[in-house]
Amino acid sequence: MKIKSALENYTFVLPAVTIFSVFYIIPFIWVFQLGLFDWDGISFTRIFVGLDNFKEIFFQDKNWWQSMWNASYITLIALTFQNILAFMLALACDREIRMKNFYRVIFFIPPVLSEVVVGMAWRFIINDIDGANIINRMLIGMGFGNFAHNWLSDPNTALTTVALVHCWKGFGWGFLIFLAGLQTIPRELYEAARVDGASAWQAFKKITIPLMIPVMVLVAILTVLGTMQVFVLIVSLVGGEFAGHTSVPVLRILASMRGSSRFGYACAQGITFGMVLVAISFIQYRFSKKGH
């Protein structure tokens, strides 16, 4: 009877396990296996090189680690600026303000736009010779003419400009999730706090923040995963890696695959990158659990 029951249970989870294995586990193992070979992606012969590709990534490939640093920088800006903005806007829309549904729709437009379209549009807004130069014109109009320059072609500002455009595109997701989270907080808690004489700041600190921590963790994990993998926006904004200043891991993987025809190495880069993302997510999760 017990065996029958166990078999029944396994039967129910079998489709999910099969799909997960076929589309996630097996490809992961396969990509890892390919990472152990020197392979051009076309030939039927592969040369086994063991962990050489991984050794090269960790100890020789400065471009790879520069790309990781660049992606981390964009992620840091997204985690702070983008998410704080999203949280503040969600707080504003959670209250009884006029036209809040209109704002909800407006804030959700950027995330649903194609990254290529966003990149081209912002390139047009920012660039001076092949664009409308709107940012520089505004700066000059406001008396900050000294700051006007080629934002995307200056190595000092290119990455930050990319990061800010990425934040503009991405804050709508955070906004939506934060807003959904805020709406799950029972209003009675705020009413009780008000009756007890708590100020708005105290209610925010003692009710909103603690109850929103799981949502914040979720948004932070999604932000890290989404931002670390950014690349389409970079290609459409600056054409590529711009002497390494806007290089990111996915562009490096693509360069290994297409530019250098090193599929094995690209697979090793993919695995390394994937493991870094898993590690970051795990740390974030553990950290939030501890804090909670």
Partner 1 sequence: MLFRNALLGIFVLFSVLGCSSQKTETKPSINVWHWMTDRDATFQELAKKYEGLAGVKVNFELYAPSDAYSQKIRAAAQGVNLPDVFGILGEKRDFASFIKAGHILDITPYMQADNENWKSRFFPKALAVNEFAAGNSYGITPGIFAVPIDIMTIQMVYNKKLFSQLGLNPNKPPKTFQEFLAIGAKIKAAGMQGLVSGWGEVWMIDCLANNYAFNIMGKDKVLATIKGEVAYTDPDWIKVFSLFKQMQDSGVLAQGLVTMINKSAEQLFANEKAVFAFNGSWCVNVYKGMNPGLEYGAMLPPEASSQHPIAIWGGAGSSFMVNARSKNKEEAVKFLIWLTDQDQQAYLSQATNNLPANKNSLTKIPEILAQFARGMDYATHPNVWGVSEFSLVIEAFDRGIQSIIIGEKSPEQVAAEVQKIKEREMAKRRAK
If phi over 0 gives left and psi between -120 and 50 gives alpha, with beta otherwise, what is residue 114?
Answer: beta
Q: Would you say 102 or 124 has its CB closer to partner 1? A: 124
Q: Which stretch binds partner 1 (CB under 8 A): 149-157, 207-215, 221-229, 266-274?
A: 149-157
How many residues in the chain? 292
Q: Closest by alpha carbon to 267, among 33, 61, 46, 69? A: 33
Residues sharing a CB contact under 8 Å with residue 1, sequence separation 6 or more, in sequence order: none
Which of 145, 186, 239, 291 binds partner 1 (CB under 8 A)? It is 239
CB of 10 to partner 1, least distance (A): 33
276 closest CA partner among 17, 72, 8? 72
Q: Could you list the beta-strand ranges (E) of 77-181.
A: none
Instruction: Tell which positions 47-86 bind partner 1, by CB under 8 A.
Output: 60, 63
Give the nearer residue to partner 1 in terms of CB position, either 127 or 227: 127
Residue 115 binds partner 1 (CB under 8 A): no
The region of 147-155, 188-196, 201-209, 270-278 touching partner 1 under the rule CB under 8 A is: 147-155
Query: Is residue 251 at the binding interface for partner 1, with CB under 8 A as the rule?
Result: no
Q: Which residue of 240, 274, 280, 285 would you call a contact of partner 1, by CB under 8 A?
A: 240
| C-beta of residue 103 within 8 angstroms of C-beta of residue 175 | no
Shortest Å distance, C-beta 24 to partner 1: 19
CB of 144 to partner 1, least distance (A): 19
CB of 224 to partner 1, least distance (A): 26
Helix (H/G/I), strand (E/B), else coil: 37: strand
Comparison of 27 and 155: residue with beta carbon closer to partner 1: 155
How far is residue 64 from each of residues 176, 179, 243, 257, 274, measured CA to CA in Å? 34, 37, 13, 14, 14
Which of 152, 167, 233, 251 touches partner 1 (CB under 8 A)? Answer: 152
Strands 47-48 and 37-38: antiparallel
Q: CA-CA distance, 283 to 210, in Å (whole number)?
A: 19
176 belongs to the binding site for partner 1 (CB under 8 A): no
Q: How far apart are the first and last CA of the chain?
A: 42
Among 145, 186, 244, 291, binds partner 1 (CB under 8 A): 244
72 to each of 3, 23, 66, 159, 268, how far by Cα in Å?
A: 50, 28, 10, 11, 20
Restricting to residues 184-203, name those near partner 1 by CB under 8 A. Answer: none
Residue 138 is encoded by which pair of tokens? 């505004």
Candidate list 181, 262, 266, 269; residue touching partner 1; CB under 8 A: 262
Interface with partner 1 includes 43 (CB under 8 A)?
yes
- Residues interacting with partner 1, by CB under 8 A? 40-44, 60, 63, 123, 127-130, 150, 152-155, 158, 237-244, 255, 258-262
